[in-house]
Structure 1
Amino acid sequence: MAIALSHDIGSDQAPTVVAKGYGAVAEQILRLAFDNDVKVRTDPDLAQILEVVEVDCEIPVQAFAAVAEILTYVYRMNGTLPAGDAGGTS
């Protein structure tokens, strides 16, 4: 299972599921991510929560903490962490 999320920095909107799939579709999602230097994380527990979310829908409340951690890491690695956002500990 591969799930792709999208979130606009500074948006009040929750992240959304933009793609998901198993098998060949999952491989294609991962290939596109790697080819475009998109950060990838393996998290079976989070995937289990997100697999029931329809594409183009916001993530459920149960996934907020894990997704926030991932987004903070990605924003920090990309140098785009919003100003004033500590994003947890260093």
Structure 2
Amino acid sequence: GGSTGAINSLNSLRTVGRSLRAWVIPEQVSIPRAWQAFDASGQLNDANLEERLLEVGQQVTRFAYLHTSDHAAEFLNKWEEAQKNPGGE
């Protein structure tokens, strides 16, 4: 519960995503008390939180680009065909 409760949920969702072989970006942002985090015009009240959200958005954009880039296709194919957890038997 509290302001860190959502972090546990996000971590659990990361585990689910990885088990489905989804690409999970390294960063995550939780917005505690989201109903209070925005002003009447929809702008965030916390500049630090806004910066973190922008960083996550930039990471999503970079990873999405990898999936559409012919230049990265070979890397993506090797990644997706790689053995799961090599050496972790």
- The interval holding the TM-score normalised by the smaller chain is 0.3 to 0.5
Higher strand fraction: Structure 1 or Structure 2? 1
Q: TM-score, normalised by structure 1?
A: 0.38
**Greater RCO, 1 or 2 (C-alpha within 8 Å, sep 6+):** 1
Q: TM-score, normalised by structure 2?
A: 0.38
Which of the pair has more CA radius of gyration? 2
Higher helix fraction: Structure 1 or Structure 2? 2
